[in-house]
Copies of this chain bind each other. A is one copy, B any other.
Amino acid sequence: MARELNVSKDNFSKWYDEVMHYADIIDDRYPIKGVGAWKPYGYKSLKLMIQRMENLLDATDHNESYFPLFVPASVFEKESDFLKGFQGEALRVTKIGRRTLDEELIVRPTSETAMYPMFSLWTRSWRDLPLKIYQTVPVFRWETKMTKPLLRVREITKFKEAHTVHATKSESDKQIQEAVKVYKEFFDDMLIPYIMLRVPDWDVFAGAEYNYDFFTIMPDGKAIELASVINLGQKMAKAFDIKYIASDEKEKHAWQTCYGISERTLGSTLAIHGDDTGLIFPSTLAPFQVVIVPIGTDKKVLAKAESIKNNLTGIRVHIDNTRKRPGEKFYNWEARGVPIRIEIGPRDLAKKKVTIARRDNGNKTTIAESRTSKYVSELLNQIDKSIYSKSRRTFRKQIHDAKTIAQAKKILETTGGIVRLPWNGNNKKGQEMEKKLVGQALGYERDKKHLYFARTY
């Protein structure tokens, strides 16, 4: 930790790798490419993110559950569209010790095929519906593309996937609206600007009815998918025999939805808000929202630091009383993205003052110690607002209108970002445009008059 971080955010890819390591988020020196060991500091933040999503899901009557990691190959292979989407990157267990298994086990890349055989047992009557289940689990997709901590990984540590079962199409549509609302609130809390688009028909998940994706834009101009909200229709219900007895005593196939987010959300918000000095945490995700650095070794100063900490109720505060020099501590906690630093030394103590430094713009103020609690609460809000509005301005500038394919191509090749092109709503035409653009067709808005394209993670 002694050496300083020495990389500019202009070189985003290098900046990101260095900062994630330097700021103790995750260590990617694990002996398998594309998986990393979470450092306690980073893991605290990941848990805060998950907790926030759990609260939102609990408040909308979702129930948490846990389904097994392994799926027998024969079950995994039941639905052909699903299989097509995932079999290529799915890990297969073929042996226990030296013994070969009779049937291979697939490591879940996502949990449809682990959950739905059980849903088939759990939904007997219309009274059992809706069934709204979520789980937070590691899932595995053995990517062959370049990996990147939190953004493109082979072990997704925290995949929070929700799966619901409904009696009718219209109830499943309503569920999609609820999920969209939950996700919007979540990304707002995480201070991530986003665009939500309807995924083109030729690219929907596992042959689903329809599918919304949330995207944000990384500092290098590439778009990244943050979440997917999918109306599965009845395809999986038919493959997995998820039926119920309706109130008219007839047996019917159910309708299903699913939606998920992962640590990409954390990686993206850190990527967006950070600067040349290192990370800047949104207050919701900051492992420590405030760090107190006592200057000198006077015991009275340390006691004062403790009392300030105790008065900051409901705020995550860390006192750095290690033996390092103050300058080194300042630098260290700035790189690690703590929104607010409080400095207190013998002179401040005498004057009943404290010095408060903002991570986002570096401003320092000295205030009466008695005002600390109120000041810090307000400042946390202010910093959030400030970094969020800055990121939204940047985001808006990264969405470009183009009139022709050539123009769009030029934008994607130079500044990057997301390009919006006129479209007639025809799928064949859309796929042609996608091919020419060497970018992904992210989706369209309700009116189907434009298609959005970007290079993606």
Contacts and interface: CB of A to CB of B under 8 A. Distances in A.
A152 to B, nearest CB: 15
Top 4 nearest A-B pairs by Cβ distance?
A40-B63, A38-B66, A92-B95, A35-B68
Interface string A71-91: 110010000000000011111
Interface of A: 27, 29-32, 35-40, 43-44, 46-47, 63-72, 75, 87-97, 104-105, 107, 114-115, 117-118, 121-122, 133, 137-138, 140, 142, 155, 157
Given A70-B32, A117-B30, A65 B91 contact: no
Copy number in the complex reads 2
Tell me what chain A mostly uses at the interface: helix, strand, loop, or mixed: mixed
A219 B114 CA distance: 33
Given A30-B68, A36-B68, A70-B91, 18 more contacts: A27-B118, A30-B67, A30-B114, A31-B72, A32-B68, A32-B105, A35-B68, A35-B70, A37-B67, A37-B118, A40-B63, A40-B64, A43-B65, A70-B155, A89-B97, A91-B105, A92-B97, A97-B142
Contact of A93 (B29, B43, B92, B138): B92
Given A29-B118, A64-B43, A88 B97 contact: yes
B30 A118 contact: yes
B64 A37 contact: no
Contacts of A107: 93
A79 to B, nearest CB: 15
A39 B64 CA distance: 8
Contact of A96 (B66, B122, B142): B142
29 contacts: A30-B67, A30-B114, A30-B117, A31-B71, A31-B75, A35-B70, A37-B65, A37-B66, A37-B115, A38-B65, A38-B66, A38-B67, A43-B64, A44-B64, A47-B64, A66-B157, A70-B91, A70-B155, A88-B96, A88-B97, A89-B97, A92-B93, A92-B94, A92-B95, A92-B96, A92-B97, A93-B93, A93-B94, A95-B104
